[in-house]
Amino acid sequence: MVTTRSFAKADYGFWPGLRVVDVKCSEHLLFNFCDFNFFRGSAGGSYLFFGSSKHLVLLIAVPYILACEVVFLRGRRFFVKLKDHVAGVFIVRSRAESLYVSSLAVAPQYRRLGLGMFILQFAENVAADAGRKWLELSVLKTNWPARRLYEKAGFKVFKEKQRSLTLRKRVA
């Protein structure tokens, strides 16, 4: 099991009221069904949210959300909250030598403000506290904003697939 460390206010920098909350699977699932629109307009989100037909979106998004919950079943889920708003979400799971970031999303209104970097630093600290040597994640090759963020955070290509890259960073 992954353990978290406590963070002082100084760790949150210019984000007063920011906190990371460890959430249950049921809370995460409810959030995904009711409030989640973080991928809308992102490189990968165009596969889920297209056109104007809400019924068509539901036919695609609901099975996708349920499938993700099954895939991430063993993961630990976090909400990054700014006051009462969920500004970001991420899921991590332990592997033998690494902590794998299964999912990471930042709400559109909080993008390009440093929250993605904050989440990656938080995940790196969780990995270090769990005794893992690496922090790993995957990204679509076409998701240039995320790839720039991960490169800036020190991630390097570890594996390459047809449409995605697995990146890794040594944990300090």
> Beta-strand (E) ranges in the chain?
18-23, 76-82, 85-94, 98-106, 134-140, 156-160, 164-170
Q: Is the pLDDT of residue 124 over 90?
A: yes
The parent domain of residue 78 ranges over 19-170
Q: Is the pLDDT of residue 149 over 80?
A: yes
Q: Return the CATH number at 81.
A: 3.40.630.30
Q: How confident is the model at residue 153 (pLDDT cuts 50, 70, 90)?
A: very high
In a domain, 9, yes or no: no
Global confidence as pTM = 0.72
Please give the single-letter amino acid code of residue 151.
E
Q: Is the pLDDT of residue 49 over 80?
A: no
Q: How confident is the model at residue 6 (pLDDT cuts 50, 70, 90)?
A: very low
In a domain, 65, yes or no: yes
Q: Quote the number of domains for the chain.
A: 1
In a domain, 81, yes or no: yes
Residue 34 confidence (pLDDT): 56
Residue 13 confidence (pLDDT): 55
Angle between helices 25-34 and 54-71 (to 10 degrees): 160
Among 16-25, 87-96, 152-161, name the most confident range: 152-161
In a domain, 11, yes or no: no
In a domain, 59, yes or no: yes
Closest by CA position to 20, among listed 89, 107, 72: 89
In a domain, 53, yes or no: yes
